[in-house]
Amino acid sequence: MSGVRPVLTRMFTPVRLDDPTPTSLTRGGALAVTGLLAQGVLRFATSLLVGRLAGQAELGVVASAIAAATILALLWPTSTGSAASKFLARARGAGSVDQARAVAAHLRRRMLLAVLVLAAAAIPVWVHLDGGSLTGALAVALLTIGYSGYSFTRGVQFGTGQTLRATGWDVLCVALGLVTLTLMLLSGVRGVALVLPLAVAYGVYAVAGWPFGGGGKPEPARRREMDGFVALGAVGSLASAGFLQLSQIVTRLVSGDEGAGEYAAAVALATPASMLAVSLSLVLLPALSETLGRADEAAFRARTDQANRSLAVVVVAVFGSIVLCSRLLIRVVWGDTYAGAAPILAVLAVAVLCTTLGVVAVNAMTARSQRGMAINVAASLTGLVVGAAVWAVVAPSSGGIGVATGYLAGTLVIAAIPIGYVWRTSRQRWAGLYLRIAAAVVVLAVLYDAQDRFGLPLGLDVVAALVFLLGWIALNRRDAARLPWPGRSGRSGGS
């Protein structure tokens, strides 16, 4: 009990900006995975309960409402969370409590102003998308506020070294959201109002993690740097993370509520594993920022290399399994009525794999300079344009599978540019790694085509996935042997 009491005390008192909880990058990553896994469970359970109990069309409406709120939050608040993670960690690395408080206060003011504007904008946006539902628009506005606050305060807690506190609130708020959603569904609530449990869960988290201790003003140059970081991050996030949310809305426009529900079912299974990369970002970005604050270039390069190799080993295994088990997963989780979502899931899994593989490079560029951020933004915008061009050609006639194909085309561009940049500028030895990844994707395509072409029994999907996993681990045995320490400094060489 003596060890539990300090943790509970930290959780239920205002977040401290000057007293981090010591933790290793490995333990911090594990805690971040736990918290984001909990949030992924909330998102997935929302989709599953709505889709199973209320039907495919209702799922399409709810998924589209979540997508709209998420896109609005990406316009500024979510990048404010990333800024908090980076600049609070930098202030911590420099040992300046006053600087940390000033950073928190500045970002807090900017976030509040942005979220008020975006919540107001959510009302006409949803009225237009949904054909005039003012009640639904208010629910989307509340979700925009809640998700914005969650994104900001999560970054604050990770930037100030409060990883355990953040994870504890993740778990508590997920439990609150699931209980609220279940009660609403059992009482017969339908439509956009079903996003309110998410809004409540995110809102409670935001209040619990709010940086009340912030105060003062950073120097003008630092304010400009932070505002520029957030602005660039907002554009980049809108074109990358917002790309997937936009694909959900595009599917609803071209395929209606039923098609949007089918697409949402595939997204719900394709995206949870990407939480591994998001959790790594939450821990890796502050860690890389600290190494730069110490001017330790060798540690920066080594951490980037090790994180990239470890992430590649894990995510290719995970998403490859999803591709090969897509038919089985859809039938087991969603039922026969959602069978058309299987090919969409296979394409989306490869797309999310591409996005996830670029995460380490994106974080390395973001930590180093504003120029790196600008390159990431340019990559995201280019990928979005490529994806939209594919949508314009194939989505009207192909529906969800056409939208997924466009998303895959765009993510290839979004991931390739930062990976290539870091590979060259950091002089990493990644040629062998990416040749193995390319070979793995080819094998996945061949095996999936065989499943579809010959109508193989669903039970053989698991066999195919196991064979793929064994081959992949054997091919990457050196990097696999160093798991689960993605941020441990060590030899950065290898092929």
Question: What one-character-per-residue DSSP string does 375-416 give?
Answer: HHHHHHHHHHHHHHHHHHHHHHHHTHHHHHHHHHHHHHHHHH
Let me know: does 370 contact 292? Beta carbons within 8 Å: no
> pLDDT at residue 49 above 60?
yes
Per the listing, tokens 């993605």 go with 486
Nearest to 348, CA basis, from 242, 427, 269: 269
Cα–Cα distances in Å, from 399 out to 188, 343, 350, 410, 411? 31, 12, 18, 17, 19
Q: Distance from CA of residue 67 to its chain's centroid?
A: 13
Residue-wise pLDDT for 216-253, tens only, equals: 888 888 899 999 989 988 888 888 788 999 999 999 99
Residue-wise pLDDT for 375-429, tens only, equals: 988 999 999 999 999 999 999 999 999 999 999 999 999 999 999 999 998 888 8
pLDDT score recorded for residue 2? 46
247 vs 264: CA distance, rounded Å = 10
Per the listing, tokens 């085309």 go with 409
pLDDT score recorded for residue 279? 62
Residue-wise pLDDT for 163-210, tens only, equals: 788 888 999 999 999 999 999 999 999 989 999 999 999 999 999 999
pTM, to two decimals: 0.82
Overall average pLDDT of the 276-281 stretch: 63
> pLDDT at residue 285 above 80?
no
> pLDDT at residue 150 above 50?
yes
Structure confidence at residue 19 as a pLDDT band (50, 70, 90):
low
Q: Which residue has the higher pLDDT, 449 or 483?
A: 449
Cα–Cα distances in Å, from 362 out to 126, 239, 311, 422? 32, 14, 13, 9
pLDDT score recorded for residue 1? 45
Mean of all residue pLDDT scores within the chain: 86
pLDDT score recorded for residue 40? 81
Residue-wise pLDDT for 327-350, tens only, equals: 999 999 999 899 899 999 999 999
88 vs 82: CA distance, rounded Å = 10
| List of long-range contacts for 127-135, beta carbons under 8 Å, 24+ apart | 129/64, 129/68, 129/249, 129/252, 130/61, 130/65, 130/192, 133/191, 133/192, 135/192, 135/193
> pLDDT at residue 435 above 60?
yes
Overall average pLDDT of the 98-118 stretch: 92
Q: What is the DSSP letter of 273?
A: G
φ, ψ of residue 220 in degrees (nearest 5): -55, -40
Nearest to 11, CA basis, from 160, 165, 150: 165
452 vs 454: CA distance, rounded Å = 6
